Amino acid sequence: MPDSPLLTAAAVAVIALAIAVVVGVGIKLLRSFRELGTDAEQATYKTLHAASRAGQHLRTGLNPAGAAKASKQLRSLLGCDALAITDTAGVLAWDGAAEELKPLLMGLAADVLTGGRTTVLQARELGAEPASGALAAVIAPVRAGSRVVGAVAAFAPSAGAGLVRATSEVADWVAVQVELAELDASRTLLMEAEVRALRAQISPHFIYNSLNAIASFINTDPERARELVVEFADFTRYSFRRHGDFTTLAEELRCIDRYLLLERARFGERVQVSLRIAPEVLGTVIPFLSLQPLVENAVRHGLEAKEGAGHISITANDSGAFAEVTIEDDGVGMDPAELQSMLAGHRDGDHVGLRNVDARLRQVYGDQHGLVIETAPGEGTLITLRVPKSQPGHDA
């Protein structure tokens, strides 16, 4: 029975619709592909994407798990037959061919790890037969600061200048990730110091602010971030020591110097400091952490709330049988009545450090040696303490 004109027209319509859908999908896919850009732009995207993924795996440092995942991405970047990552003790990851060379790699990389210079090894130097399709190697050092912490080894049929340069660049990139990982690890460790800071009467706000200041430099200025981490470590090592209730004025001033260095990383030129110290009082024994909380009070409660730059003046003078230390700021000042009530323990306040120092001075030397504080709202603050230069039984 012949098809009716109606059925034939319907079939043609369905076929036409199907063709239109296919063509439309094809055009959409073609447009999506073109949106990726030129071949060069696509290659750049793939490179950045691979580097980004590799970086995520290395942010915990050089360890087998992260290196194994990163090596796959890095091998695709170099386009080599095999890629290995080592630390100074052994091979952390191997991706690709020629795994028979893996047991030899640490021996091959010995000069790189000790000397810090890229090494190129041809196939014959790896003990391979010339006609066996053997691979040459480029081994580049991974440096964290002045230390060589590992190596990146790329294996390919030939080790030309392009592979040498590319491998060195990859090793330098790995080094940056390792340094960032070390800074992140230090930041984590420093955050754990908060509990100890409470015990030592150091403001937790200072801990957080210092960590945030360090974190702000991790990506923009890693070298400065490293220096701040070291200063913070030295500061906390001194502040949280468990032996000795006394120290010297010189040691306390060094602690203050580190503290102010960290605060100036946050405030910049807003915090200006001048010191005038008589050399003959540097060896005076004083209660441990009796000056740093006073300087912290000047920064946090005197200058932080002030508009524009502020100035702190620290002096230490020889006053006969006593060493006299003054800490003065031109900040917002305090209400004298509220301050006196807080020092007497009648009310809680923000100046816990002052009360702590005042109480310890009175306990050790008597009530006549408590803090003398001159202040008023808008007039800044001057704090004076006097301690005997001769203190039998009190050793730093």
DSSP secondary structure letters along 82-99: EEEEEESSSEEEEEES-G
User: Measuring CA to CA, how many Å separate 51 from each of 64, 75, 170, 326?
Assistant: 18, 11, 9, 54
Please name the helix (run of DSSP H) or strand (run of DSSP E) that holds residue 315, with its range, or none: strand 310-319
**What would the 3-class secondary structure string for 197-220 be?**
HHHCCCCHHHHHHHHHHHHHHHCC
**226-233: long-range contacts, CB 8 A cutoff, minimum separation 24:** 226/145, 226/179, 226/183, 228/261, 228/262, 228/265, 229/183, 229/186, 229/187, 229/190, 231/258, 231/261, 231/262, 232/190, 232/258, 232/262, 233/186, 233/190
Q: What are phi and psi for residue 145, nearest 5 degrees?
A: 70, -125
* Token digits of residue 25: 């999908």
Give the angle subtended at the CA of 375 by the CAs of 371 and 377, to the nearest 5°: 150
Note the pLDDT of residue 247: 87
- Is the CB of residue 67 less than 8 Å from the CB of residue 92? yes
pLDDT per residue rounded down to tens, the chain (396 residues): 444 443 344 444 444 444 444 444 444 434 444 455 676 666 565 666 666 767 677 877 888 988 988 898 889 888 899 999 999 999 999 999 988 899 999 999 999 999 999 999 988 887 655 545 678 999 999 998 888 999 999 999 988 899 999 999 899 988 888 888 877 766 545 544 433 443 445 556 677 777 888 888 888 888 888 888 888 888 877 776 655 578 899 999 998 998 888 888 888 888 899 999 999 999 999 988 889 889 988 888 778 878 888 899 999 999 999 999 999 999 888 888 888 887 876 666 566 678 878 888 888 888 888 999 999 998 999 999 999 988 766 666
CA angle at 8 for the pair 5 and 11, rounded to the nearest 5°: 150
Please tell me the predicted confidence (pLDDT) of residue 394. Answer: 65
Other CB atoms closer than 10 Å to residue 290's CB: what's the count? 23
Task: Give the tokens for residue 177.
Answer: 């990730």
Residue 126 has a pLDDT of 79
Q: CA distances (Å), 101 to each of 126, 135, 149, 152, 381, in order?
A: 8, 10, 21, 14, 70
3-state secondary structure of 319: strand
Structure tokens given for 167: 């491998």
- Calpha distance 146→177 (Å, rounded): 15
Roughly how many angstroms between the first and final C-alpha of the chain, as a whole number? 116
- In the prediction, which pLDDT does 127 show? 66
Neighbours of 264 (CB within 10 A): 16
Residue 285 β-bridge partners: 248
Upper half-sphere CA count for residue 357 (Cβ side, 13 Å):
23
Query: Please, what is the Cα angle at 184 between 178 and 147, to 5 degrees?
Result: 35
How confident is the model at residue 98, as a pLDDT? 87
CB 152 within 8 A of CB 142: yes
pLDDT of the residue at 151: 95
- Cα separation, 108 vs 118, whole angstroms: 11
Bridge partners of 124, per DSSP, are none
* Burial track 142-151 (b if 16+ CB lie within 10 A, e otherwise): bbbeeebbbb
pTM, two decimals, is 0.47
**Distance between CA 224 and CA 173 in Å, rounded?**
19
Whether 256 and 290 have beta carbons less than 8 Å apart is answered as no
Whole-angstrom Cα distance, residue 130 to residue 124?
7
Q: What integer pLDDT is reported at residue 266 of this predicted model?
A: 83
Taking residue 134's Cβ as centre, other Cβ atoms within 10 Å add up to: 17
